[in-house]
Amino acid sequence: MSPRKRHVLLLWMLVCSCATEAIEPISTSIAVGMAAALTGFLASYQNIFYYFHECCRPEWIAFNRTGLQLDLQTKLFGQHIASRIILKAVTGFMSNDNPKKPLVLSLHGWTGTGKNFVSQLIADNIYKEGMDSSFVHVFTSELHFPHSSHLNTYKSQLQQWIKGNVTNCGRSMFIFDEMDKMQPGLIDSIKPYLDYYEKLDGVSYRKAIFIFLSNAGGEGIIQAALDFWTAGRDREELELKDLETVLSVSVFNNKKSGLWHTSLIDKNLVDFFVPFLPLEYRHVVECAMAEMKARGVPPNHNVADQVAKDVVYFPKTERVFSVKGCKTISSKLDYYT
């Protein structure tokens, strides 16, 4: 075999070992055939290869707790409850080498409050490639499951995707956006993967993370936050228990929640329901400041104020909460800078 061919062969072995997560044990005869020098060569080659190509390995997938904590503190605004739950849930799950089930989070709240953003922060602090990682998968009803008549096709497709991706990498993350728009029944089809099974058809789903995003419960959360505001109480005093009833009523009894009537809830497969509060003027200012910083321009408080003043607030009389949260800040900033 020419050195060049050997080269290619080695590279192929590495591609394969990367795809199957662990390095396959090389059979003894081949191992003997390969001289010690070659082994050394292989080792260094391997490192170079892993360095350049995303693999399902600790070089590319490692949880950074400090990073997540810092991101939640400095980049997410007005969400003291969600922040706390997310940090605890993800840290607990990622530091357990042998979880009994995958982590299942259900994030609830009005548009623009940071549900997508938090999913991104989680991905950023687990995968070196963040949301661009080939192990992070986002599903939206409009993009992936648009036609209600194809429900059965979608169900089997979704099952195959999840199975295929988890087979490739146990540490996969699946984000389901706009759960309110998903047909009831679609999510039911992946229920077994969220459960306490050691293995299904030889595949273990226990190290995967599933995140469901929805507006369901948003109105109830707003009402609770508004009641607090009206009573003159500090928003930071709001606790999960103040919102739990609101959340469960809207999630469990709302036909549009997408989780409706699913056995996800019956079987307690969702580990955490996470409420996102509506954002106030000061949070919109913070978002604008952070956005300027992220763009590499010096944060300017006057500009941030201008942007925040330009945002629409509700209820009509009190004007407490931003209608679109921090969603339109980026484009407004383009206008003012």
By CB under 6 A, the residues from 221 to 260 that bind ligand NAG are: none
By CB under 6 A, the residues from 67 to 86 that bind ligand NAG are: 67, 70
Nearest distance from C-beta of residue 181 to ligand NAG, angstroms: 18
Was 66 annotated as part of a binding site? Answer: no
Nearest distance from C-beta of residue 67 to ligand NAG, angstroms: 3
Nearer to ligand NAG, 92 or 164 (CB): 164
Nearest distance from C-beta of residue 188 to ligand NAG, angstroms: 19
Q: What letters, b where the CB count within 10 A reaches 16 and e where it falls short, cover 173-198?
A: bbbbbbbbebbeebbebbeebbbeee
Rounded CA separation 85/104 (Å) = 12
From 8-16, 89-97, 157-165, 199-207, give the range in contact with ligand NAG by CB under 6 A: 157-165
57 binds ligand NAG (CB under 6 A): no
Q: What six digits make up the tokens of 64?
A: 């950074």
Nearest distance from C-beta of residue 87 to ligand NAG, angstroms: 13
Identity at 66, one-letter amino acid code = T
Among 172, 76, 81, smallest CA distance to 123 is for 172
Q: HEC states along 130-184?
A: HHHCCCEEEEEHHHHCCCHHHHHHHHHHHHHHHHHHHHHCCCCEEEEECHHHCCC
- Taking every pair of Cα atoms in the chain, the longest distance, rounded to a whole number of angstroms, is 81
Nearer to ligand NAG, 88 or 282 (CB): 88
| Residue selected from 46, 64, 248, 300 as contacting ligand NAG according to rule CB under 6 A | 64
Nearest distance from C-beta of residue 182 to ligand NAG, angstroms: 15
Rounded CA separation 301/282 (Å) = 11
How far the first Cα of the chain sits from its last, in Å, is: 63
| Residue selected from 113, 116, 165, 189 as contacting ligand NAG according to rule CB under 6 A | 165
Nearest distance from C-beta of residue 201 to ligand NAG, angstroms: 14
Query: In this structure, how many other beta carbons lie within 10 angstroms of the beta carbon of residue 85?
Result: 19
Was 113 annotated as part of a binding site? Answer: yes
Q: HEC states along 89-101?
A: HHHHHHCCCCCCC
- Tell the residue number behind the tokens 């590279």, with chain if given: 11
Number of residues that bind ligand NAG (CB under 6 A): 10
| Residue selected from 164, 267, 293, 294 as contacting ligand NAG according to rule CB under 6 A | 164
Nearer to ligand NAG, 144 or 181 (CB): 144
| Residue selected from 45, 161, 252, 336 as contacting ligand NAG according to rule CB under 6 A | 161
From 13-21, 42-50, 158-166, 231-239, give the range in contact with ligand NAG by CB under 6 A: 158-166
Alpha-carbon dihedral sign for residues 60, 66, 69, 72: negative
Identity at 151, one-letter amino acid code = L
Among 161, 172, 158, smallest CA distance to 205 is for 172
Was 152 annotated as part of a binding site? Answer: no
Beta bridge partners of 104: 210
Burial (CB count <10 Å: 0-12, 13-18, 19+), residue 247: buried
**Residue least distant from ligand NAG (Cβ):** 164
Instruction: Write the interaction track for ligand NAG spanning residues 166-205; mark x where CB under 6 A is met and - where it is not.
Output: --x-------------------------------------
Nearer to ligand NAG, 117 or 313 (CB): 117
From 60-68, 105-113, 237-245, 319-327, give the range in contact with ligand NAG by CB under 6 A: 60-68
Positions touching ligand NAG (CB under 6 A) are: 64, 66-67, 70, 137, 160-161, 164-165, 168
- What residues form the annotated binding site for ATP? 109-116
